[in-house]
Amino acid sequence: MKNGKIYVAGIGPGCEDDITPAVKKAVSVSDVVVGYNYYFSFIQPFVMEGAECVDSGMRKEWDRAQMAFGYAEQGKTVCVISSGDAGIYGMAPLVWEMKRERGSEIEIEVLPGISAFQKAASLLGAPVGHDFCVISLSDLMTPWEKIEKRIEAAAAADFITAVYNPKSEGRYWQLYRLKEIFLQQRAGNTPVGYVRQAGRPEQEVTVTTLADFDPEQIDMFTVVLLGNSQSYNWQGKMITPRGYYQKMKHGDGGFVSKPGQEIMIRSFRTIASELKHPDIPLDRKWVLLHTIHTTADFDMENRFYADEGAVDSIYRALSGGKVKTIVTDVTMAASGIRKGALERLGLEVKCYLADPRVAEMASRMNITRTQAGIRLATEEHPDALYVFGNAPTALMELCSLMRRGKACPVGVVGAPVGFVNVRESKHMLKSFTAVPKIIIEGRKGGSNLAATIVNAILCFDDAGQLLPGRDL
């Protein structure tokens, strides 16, 4: 007797429009269709008249495979149906393993289908735009210890992650553990999307964030997708750019290439994972990460000080046009502030050291040139952001002027470096409780560090997605 043939067909997530023509044809020419009884309603219109439909309940995969071989060995054409794609948590691997075990000569043809995570992704927007993985939380055949290691690897490697079998009656805590692991590696506003009954009349689509994601809203009919560090929510859709170097422009929604940004992003992720105290307000954390990145010195955790809301307050004043000038104590600090950020926000940086009036004033009044520069600056720009990365005498001069009501800066970055009057100048600055300030405490500081703090403030709107380097 001539052997029959087995098609192993993925019928998609449950919508007739998502069944491929090849699968429809295979069903229509098969003498026998074998599958889980719930799936027959999706393919009934294509079943050949007179064909035998053999259904079984859930978790009867082995029985269905055996029946398929039994019919095929009688010379019949058999179609084994699987939801989604038959090769992804479907019947295809089992049928091939059984062919090997039986030493069978039966021809097998696997027909791909649209997987549930692909259908869910299309409904959520474009979340799977870069490297991704799929993890099942079912521990029926895989120990939880191994599943947890896979979750940890996916989170650490910044994979977009699709989650199958996220929850069942007996598995209610595993999804909570997955969320906990991902929050150790990704920002709380990382987009998360989930789709229940994708492609079916009961379909429900939700986009939220990792922090707000509620596992109680999930059931066994739901597919969950967690974005990577580049993913973002736009107009209710979850989008992951194709490359790590792509960053959404503010305003026009287009994309620009950012060579070198990936290295900075990876560095920030590393730094964030090694902080001793990661649970600090976002604005402080954002600037702290920049200071550690610049210095490679985790002692910044002990040295970095910022008033509550200072970063956000200064950023809003500069980005909103309230203040258009940044004053630095020395030219090196000015040169370290990114030109792209200044142009983007319409700001100017001024350092008065080269002003001819400075030398004359310094000589006449027997003060340092940086002190004289600050006196001139406060006369012309009393409300500017003042930035100190070198000269404690200049910072002390500003404090004196503020005390006398001759300066009202929108904020102060106090990071002078050295051994004489450095600590004292920072203590002076701290006493001005009404002035938003950021300080590198102790002797440490420097012009590069002061500029870094300003650069972090100027791109504070990127903090939520932990995307440094926009203005590189």
Residues with a catalytic annotation lie at: 293
The answer to whether residues 311 and 438 touch, using CB atoms and an 8 Å cutoff, is yes
The answer to whether residues 364 and 374 touch, using CB atoms and an 8 Å cutoff, is no
| Helix (H) or strand (E) segment spanning residue 71 | helix 61-72
Cα 173 to Cα 167: distance, rounded to the nearest angstrom: 8
Cα 238 to Cα 319: distance, rounded to the nearest angstrom: 27
Alpha carbon 126 to its chain centroid, in Å, reads 14
Cβ count within 10 A of residue 341: 20
Cα 41 to Cα 162: distance, rounded to the nearest angstrom: 26
Cα 188 to Cα 126: distance, rounded to the nearest angstrom: 20
Q: In angstroms, what CA-CA distances link 328 with 151, 198, 374, 385, 399?
A: 47, 57, 9, 8, 15
Counting Cα atoms < 13 Å in the Cβ hemisphere of 201 gives 1
Q: And the tokens for 429? A: 């600055």
DSSP bridge pairs for 12: 84
Name the percent of the chain in helix, strand, coil, to the closest 5.
40, 20, 40
Cα 458 to Cα 312: distance, rounded to the nearest angstrom: 10
Q: Please give the single-letter amino acid code of residue 133.
A: C
Phi, psi angles (nearest 5°) of residue 208:
-140, -160
